[in-house]
Amino acid sequence: MFKKITSWLGRQSPWVLLAVGVVGALVIGGGATAGMAWTNTEAFCTGCHEMRDNVYAEFKESPHDRNASGVRAKCPDCHVPRETVDLLIRKVQASGELWAKLTGKIDTREQFEEHRYQLAVNVWKRMKTTDSRECRHCHTQAAMVPDLQSERAQTRHAKAEREGMTCIDCHFGIAHQEPEGPGPQEIDFTKL
């Protein structure tokens, strides 16, 4: 079969070859784009019981899901970069998480709880490394109105800015249950 195809291609004009190449690139590119879009849906993220019954159930009780304004974050809003190269890198990293699913490493609530802290540390580390980039897609410093914040929040935000802290340093239990163990402020991520 391969020999027939290469023989046929060898007899074609450059324009036919160009057309075949363009159509092939569109099909492959379209498939890859559709695949990326599908893996960024809430339905995909909650398609396995480990996510649906654990972190998604927690998320459903959080201000990121239900709030006065009706603005709702979805899993990819917090866990997937929007920039193309970073998105592709994250998708490759996430394949390791799918491997854990396929091998049954986290198949029960008990197994999830056993690994909860390390899973949280992985997310915290990524967010510290990127200065909480995904948070900042929705929460921009320039759009914050300190006068609308409590005095405590104003003080803490000013301190965080002075000390070069990032969102996840303080806001690490906002959408999911906080695991037992040190939080992002207490961990030396340079040693991980």
3-state SS, 136-171, equals HHHCCHHHCCHHHCCHHHHHHHHHHHHCCCCHHHHC
Domain that holds residue 28: 1-38
Q: DSSP letters along 90-117, please?
A: HHHHHHHHHHHHHTTTT-SHHHHHHHHH
Q: How far apart are CA 22 and CA 162, in angstroms?
A: 52
32 with 92, same domain: the answer is no
> Quick check: 95 and 40 in contact, CB under 8 A?
no
**What does the pLDDT average to over 151-162?**
94
What integer pLDDT is reported at residue 75 of this predicted model? 93
Q: How far is residue 125 CA from its own chain's centroid?
A: 13
Question: For residues 124 and 16, which has the higher predicted lDDT (pLDDT)?
Answer: 124
User: What distances in angstroms separate CA 122 from CA 12, 78, 110, 158, one per listed residue?
Assistant: 52, 14, 19, 27
* Range in 15-29, 74-88, 124-138, 167-181 the model is least confident about: 15-29
Residue 43 domain flag: no
Residue 116 domain flag: yes
152 with 120, same domain: the answer is yes
Residue 92 domain flag: yes
DSSP label of 13: -
Residue 23 domain flag: yes
Residue 10 has pLDDT above 80, yes or no: no
Residue 130 domain flag: yes
Domain count, the chain: 2
Residue 13 domain flag: yes
82 with 1, same domain: the answer is no
Q: Give just the sign of the alpha carbon dihedral 169, 172, 174, 180.
A: negative
27 with 53, same domain: the answer is no
88 with 171, same domain: the answer is yes
As a whole number of angstroms, the longest Cα–Cα distance in the chain is 76
DSSP label of 52: I
* Range in 80-84, 106-110, 167-171 the model is least confident about: 106-110
Q: How far apart are CA 93 and CA 57, in angstroms?
A: 24
6 with 62, same domain: the answer is no
Q: How far apart are CA 135 and CA 120, in angstroms?
A: 16
